[in-house]
Structure 1
Amino acid sequence: MALAQELYGVPASRLDSFVTQWLQPSRGWKEEVLEAVGTVERFLRQEHFQGARGLDQDVRVLKVVKVGSFGNGTVLRDTTDVELVVFLSCFHSFQEEAKYHQAVLRLIWKKVCCCQDLLALGLSDPSITEEVPSALFFTIQARETAEPINVSIVPAYRALGPSLPHSQPPPEVYVSLIAAGGYPGSFSPSFSELQRSFVKHRPTKLKSLLRLVKHWYQERARDIQVTVEQWGHPDLILCVNPYESIQKVKEKIRWRRGHVGLQRLSFQEPGSDRRLLSSHCSLAYYGIFSDTRICMLETISPEIQVFVKYPNGQSHAYAVHPSHGVLGLKEQIQDRQGLRAAQQQLEFQGHVLQDWFDFACYGIQDSDTLVLSKKRAGEALFPPS
């Protein structure tokens, strides 16, 4: 049944029943999802994370908050994406959160991968996104139906403290927030309780309206044209719903091209650096709602992907092996761009890379960006310190 067409034919007096019949999840289904997610919440509350260098030795979870549609009571039927914000004892300021956010995510990731209760729920595909704020994503299964449930965990500084749901935060919180700087949205999880409470305690009719708007938005979102660029292959044109997961986009590419390797997709906004597209997210998550071009790189484990930023500001993706020399990458650039390897200068975090050193020597990791320029005559190069 085409729900979008049904919606336009429903009189206003029957919208409540339409929401109940088609959009509101059944109690049994919702309880099954929340039971599985409850296992994740118990793990977080009971686990003690051994602090890394610079962190408290005993990192404790102060509170776990369900946010998004599951947290505020506006979840749509068959939605299986659950977001959790974790307030931690090791964050005493916004600055500390920004400094240790990635380290804490790695701590949680290691513990998640060893948790027997989560492994019993079919734990799969744990990964850390590179978005703002970055999060730990993984998939588990509902016990009865084995339906996949996508879980995201975001660690945050509990800036509001144990305040009451309806109390106003003190002005000092916003003063410290402004002083901390950071990218837009990087500290938004610290205020997730305010965001959740704003909707959670509203009348049912308002929640029904939000469900209708979300349903209409998803049904009416038009497909966009995505042009997939891959070195050595003609462009591939796909029609993609912006709300489809990147994983489904990869499956379409695999079906059309027959690739068997690990696909890495990236895109670049004008004036910005190239970014990796996470399989757990969608194009809409990255703000892409119109025709776009993305770059695909096929790698074979244990290869990694690096971005090379050209002098004109454009970035391109290359597959390299961490233990192989820099010269191999320069030869790839020469084949693709025509600039001779001997004329290339690659830099990473202030270091000029020498041809005979490998990438691991410079601490270069997956999705790092290298800067390319034309080498000046007689320029001396130095090994990494």
Structure 2
Amino acid sequence: MEDTYLPDICPETLKEKEKLSAKQTQFQFRNVKKAGRSWQDGWLLSLRYPGRKEQCAAIGESQTSPHPREEDKAPSTPTLCLPLSSPFCPREKGYSVLLFLKGLGKAERIDSKRHPDPAEMELPQNLYETPADRLDNFVRHSLQPQGDWKEEVQDAWQRIERFLREECFRDELILDQEVRVLKVVKGGSSGKGTTLNYSSDVDMVLFLSCFSSFQNQAQLRKDVITLIQEKLDHCCRSLAYHISLVSPREGARAPRSLSLQVQSKKSSEAIRVDVLPAFDALGPFCPDTKPSPEIYEDLITSAGQPGEFSSSFTELQRHFVKSCPTKLKSLLRLVKHWYLQFLKPKYRKVPLPSKYALELLTIYAWEMGTEKSVNFHMDEGFVAVMKLLRDHEDICIYWTKYYDFQNEVVRNCIKQKLKEYRPVILDPADPTNNLGKGKRWDLVAKEAAYCLRQPCCNTEDPSQGWHIQRARDVQVTVRKSGKEAWTLSVNPYSPIWKMKKEIKNMCALYGHQRLSFQEPDGERQPLSSQKTLADYGIFSKVSIRVLEIFPPEIQVFVKESSGQNKPYAINPDDSIWDLKEKIEVAGGPYMKDQMILKFQGRNLHNRLSLRDLQIKDCDTITLIRRS
């Protein structure tokens, strides 16, 4: 079909009249071109905008001009007119009409190529050339997916899903058991609602009955992928799409998915579909409740690679992004467009962070910078994300929407991940998956720094931008002998001396403060005033002990066989007997229980002083209870 021009209908005209007359309809659409010929007149049957229901025209009476030319005379039949109860803005992008063309003798759908709004004509096609205050328009007119493209993606999805459900595993056995498709879940940008108008990546997660555990999935995945590939080769003609397999990169690990290029026989645009066989770990899915901690415990103890089984949690990943406000999804599209247009083409063979990692970083920036407001300035959000990418070295973020610190196995996993080399971006659906690890963030930072110098980031008042911490505040439980525990919220990148100042005001302390903490199965460690919690890898809940000392007292740690470790203030010239008395007063074993203290493998005699035994500040002494 050649380009078709449907001239604009003036909105003012629509306001004045209840319907379009036959003559007006013929006039507005008299330059329709179809199949290389021009059709002078016809009737408007219906109107369709992308992503909306067809608007059928209403039947009205024929009206003619008082002095019509012969070719402009209205037909004697009733006129089909557009109902004005439905708003009709002919400047809107991509509308189409269904016309009855008299010369052709049948109804035809004609896509418009409307005259753009003057403001749109001025809108640059390059993001870097777009003024910051025009980013909303840029997203709306350049990035939002069009209805026909969305319909094509959906049609391709439905055909492949039907094939996988009904044909692929028919009469097939894997390890002598029948294979059933339990459910099919749409992931990727299409599933999350962040599709761009020029690209679509669809993850088709296939939950199969043959997988009974994560380990079982790892064992059988290759056989399942091979089976799907063979069946697709055999049956692809019946899908009305051209399907080609995307070969995995050379040297890559055993494939976890089957990548397809799906192309309609009517379109030149290809759709990438990744088919991922997965174990149904979640079962019936309820997005508003946390999965059972035992599910994550099984995941962590399965000994898989980090993120290897993330596909089992696709529903959680999808809901996490899909539930975001519409304006935030526009910002997500803008960041993804920047990634695909300016970063990915430059470094095709480099391990860049995934689009999902940038999505999570953008969501975090929005949460921290706007306190989850649904109304914000697009340019401020985009600048905030670029600044995070430029200064990525301190990023350490996680969420507790689907898992938390209550289960010991899960807690230890999270804490270990948060100590990894930064940036750390923990998948909110999979605690084993650190999306920041092993990627070339330096290249991302370089492009982000360049982007910040372009017109798209030139905001009117930079001081009004989003102020974002590189990590969330840490909940610190403060414990001191003789006082009830209380909690503080502490920026992990704030100096510890600031926390000491707050504790001093709370406890009315006059001596020197000594703070310490102990990780599970670890030794008690002192906290230096000049360092931060981040320096100790502390980004989650922590309990610290406060000890008040007066010179020349020192701090020593006493560790019991249970692993409990407490700090004590004592004068170096005091004896071991004096230390035992302090332990007893603090709730330790009675002296008559004949507690034994050891240091560096030696029993400590009661009469000797700490100075005699060369016990120094922050040394650890072991306590043994003699039965």
TM range (shorter): 0.5 to 0.7
Instruction: Name the counterpart of 2:37.
Output: none
| Correspondence 1:111 to 2:231 | yes
| Correspondence 1:142 to 2:255 | no
Give 2:311's aligned amino acid: P
| Correspondence 1:10 to 2:10 | no
Instruction: Name the counterpart of 1:82.
Output: 202
Indicate the SS of the match to 1:122.
strand
Runs of at least 5 residues in structure 1 that lack an aligned partner in the other structure = 226-239, 245-285, 292-385
Distance in 1, Cα, partners of 2:158 & 2:220: 26
Distance in 1, Cα, partners of 2:300 & 2:234: 38
Check whether the contact 2:236–2:242 (CA below 8 A) recurs between aligned residues: no
Give 2:243's aligned amino acid: L
Match of 2:323 among 185, 191, 201: 201
Distance in 2, Cα, partners of 1:222 & 1:139: 19
Indicate the SS of the match to 2:198.
coil
Instruction: Give the CA deviation at 1:73.
Output: 0.4
Tell me how many residue pairs correspond in the alignment.
232
| Correspondence 1:54 to 2:175 | yes
Distance in 2, Cα, partners of 1:36 & 1:119: 8
Alignment of 1:244-283 (within 5 A): none
Considering only CA atoms, is the larger Rg found in Structure 1 or Structure 2?
Answer: 2
| Residue-by-residue CA offset, 1:281-318 (whole Å, 9 max, x unaligned) | xxxxx956889xxxxxxxxxxxxxxxxxxxxxxxxxxx
Give 2:166's aligned amino acid: Q
| Correspondence 1:156 to 2:305 | no
Give 1:150's aligned amino acid: R
Instruction: Name the counterpart of 1:39.
Output: 159
4+ residue segments displaced more than 6 Å: 288-291
| Residue-by-residue CA offset, 1:6-26 (whole Å, 9 max, x unaligned) | 33x131xx4333211011111
Alignment of 1:360-379 (within 5 A): none
Distance in 1, Cα, partners of 2:238 & 2:253: 25
TM-score, normalising length from structure 1?
A: 0.54
Instruction: Give the CA deviation at 1:242.
Output: 5.8
Instruction: Name the counterpart of 2:219.
Output: 99
Distance in 1, Cα, partners of 2:259 & 2:194: 22
| Residue-by-residue CA offset, 1:115-156 (whole Å, 9 max, x unaligned) | 245563112236567547621112221242142222210100
Instruction: Give the CA deviation at 1:4.
Output: 1.9
Distance 1:31 1:119, change over 3 A: closer
Structure showing greater relative contact order (alpha-carbon pairs closer than 8 Å, 6 or more residues apart):
1
Instruction: Give the CA deviation at 1:5.
Output: 2.2
Distance in 1, Cα, partners of 2:328 & 2:255: 29
| Correspondence 1:169 to 2:291 | yes
Distance in 2, Cα, partners of 1:114 & 1:30: 27
| Residue-by-residue CA offset, 1:60-100 (whole Å, 9 max, x unaligned) | 11111111111100011210332211100111111111111
Indicate the SS of the match to 1:123.
strand
Check whether the contact 1:133–1:185 (CA below 8 A) recurs between aligned residues: no
Instruction: Name the counterpart of 2:303.
Output: 181
Aligned-pair identity in percent equals 45
Check whether the contact 1:133–1:186 (CA below 8 A) recurs between aligned residues: no
Indicate the SS of the match to 1:219.
helix
Instruction: Give the CA deviation at 1:104.
Output: 1.1
Give 1:54's aligned amino acid: L
Give 1:101's aligned amino acid: R
Check whether the contact 2:179–2:209 (CA below 8 A) recurs between aligned residues: yes
Q: CA RMSD in A?
A: 2.8
Distance in 2, Cα, partners of 1:213 & 1:54: 45
Runs of at least 5 residues in structure 2 that lack an aligned partner in the other structure = 1-123, 353-437, 444-627
Distance 1:243 1:40, change over 3 A: farther
Check whether the contact 1:50–1:107 (CA below 8 A) recurs between aligned residues: no
TM-score, normalising length from structure 2?
A: 0.34
Match of 1:63 among 161, 183, 193: 183
Give 1:165's aligned amino acid: P
